[in-house]
Chain A
Amino acid sequence: MGLVTNSRVKSPWILHFDCGSCNGCDIEILACLTPMYDIERFGMVNMGNPKHADVLVVTGSANRRNARVLKNLYEQMPEPKVVIAIGSCACTGGVFNECPNILGGVDKVIPVDVYIPGCAVKPEAIIDGAVLALGKLAEKKAKAKEGVRA
């Protein structure tokens, strides 16, 4: 792993967007920041600004209202970036699926790299998923390079 990829994997800054979840998953994400789990030891920092973030963490299902905001946030994040869908709602729409205003999972609006199911997800599962996402982040870099060469 090169220096740049290594740095990328070691410094994922997170942007959390709540697409209208029941707040169960949001609380679990915040739990990851507490001294108990302390994800800052992996260099993860919770950002409030899409322009500074590398990882978009989405909770809750996509609906007709928030799809535009979600897309906007995703587009504002500079490459390379990964998206993690947290909770059954974000993965598939969950209990809200088939409601008239619900489009379904987050992947109906933006490309999702990692799905973490659960209602609500455990902090351990979130950390697990985040590690998976970091692998994808490293891969993305490699692919981008190939694309340039080809």
Chain B
Amino acid sequence: MTNQILIAIASILAVPIIGGLLRGFDRKMTARMQSRIGPPILQPFYDVIKLWNKEKNITHKNQLIWAYGYFGFIITSILVFALGRDILMMLFVLVLAGVCLVLGALSIKSPYSHLGGNRELIQMLAYEPMLFLIALAVFLSTGSFNVNVIIASGTPLIYSLPLAFIAMVIVMVIKMRKSPFDISLSHHAHQEIVRGPVTEFSGKYLALIELAEWYEMVLLLAILAMFWAMPFWAGIILALAVYFIVLIIDNVFARLTWPILLKFTWTFGIGLVILNILGIYLLRK
């Protein structure tokens, strides 16, 4: 029990540091790929500390509940994962977090905010089916939704789920808000629909959302690492390699429109996972 509490506290404290460093690395690498010098690695921390100490400017009190909700639910899903519990539960909590962000955007009468909220919903529509099918594929190949059991199952998941892994990378691109699928909120085009769902969030609450995104990013990387959980370092290398590939994709592609996003994920993305699931069935017989 004390062990588990320690793991919980450690993950809550360590994850934002890892996330912030990764985000700083992201900005630096992106700058280098565009032959710029780029901000220091610690830049994301400066941004968040600055935002946290800005004047509180609230459009509507409801908005705060949703900002805290987004943050809280993501922390909860991190805990579910770190304590090795049910992967399906974790995904449901993650959906709740996404819904909080959308409701936060929709709770204010601002056209940009609404547009951002709607686009965020479209993104969720694109990646959620893939995520749940991936969870199903993991269950079919290991016989459990439990993270501890999955990790202890021995052979790396990626041998039996290579296609599902590729689908997970696609989810990663959408969730990390990278081109070509950063249709609701982009890290580079700060003027794009005036920043989508976070239009009306400022100061501390924007910092809270930024922090939540770091947690979410590390959680997704941890899910990727789960595909090669034994030995431990192999998973970490795998996740970091995918992170780097996502950065390259981000810099190579232009931003696409939402119909293309939906068509792509609902045919190619979901198709990949279903093929993988069929493969598991056929090989077993």
Contacts and interface: CB of A to CB of B under 8 A. Distances in A.
Contact of A4 (B34, B50, B191): B50
Interface in B2-51: 27, 31, 34-40, 43, 45-47, 49-50
A3 B45 CA distance: 11
B202 A6 contact: no
Contacts of B57: 51, 76, 78
B39 A40 contact: yes
B190 A47 contact: yes
Nearest to A33: B36
Max chain B CB contacts within 10 Å: which of A41, A46, A47?
Answer: A41
A54 interface: yes
B36 to A, nearest CB: 4
B203 interface: yes
Specify the main secondary structure of chain B where it touches its partner: loop
A7 B38 contact: no
Interface residues of A, number: 25
Contacts of B206: 52
Contacts of A51: 57, 199-202
B54 interface: yes
Contact of B194 (A3, A7, A48): A48
Interface string B258-273: 0000000000000000
A45, A76, A80 interface centre (most CB from chain B within 10 Å): A45
Given A35-B36, A47-B191, A78 B202 contact: yes
Contacts of A10: 40, 43, 46, 50
B195 interface: yes
A38 interface: yes
Contacts of B199: 49, 51
Given A3-B49, A48-B191, A40 B203 contact: no
A139 interface: no
B50 A49 contact: no
Contacts of B54: 54, 78-80
B190 A46 contact: yes
A73 B125 CA distance: 35
Nearest to A144: B55
A11 interface: yes
A46 B55 CA distance: 20
Interface string B177-202: 00000000000001110110011111
Nearest to B59: A51
Contacts of A38: 31, 36-38
Contact of A46 (B47, B191, B198): B191
Contacts of A11: 43, 46-47, 50
Interface of B: 27, 31, 34-40, 43, 45-47, 49-50, 53-57, 190-192, 194-195, 198-203, 206
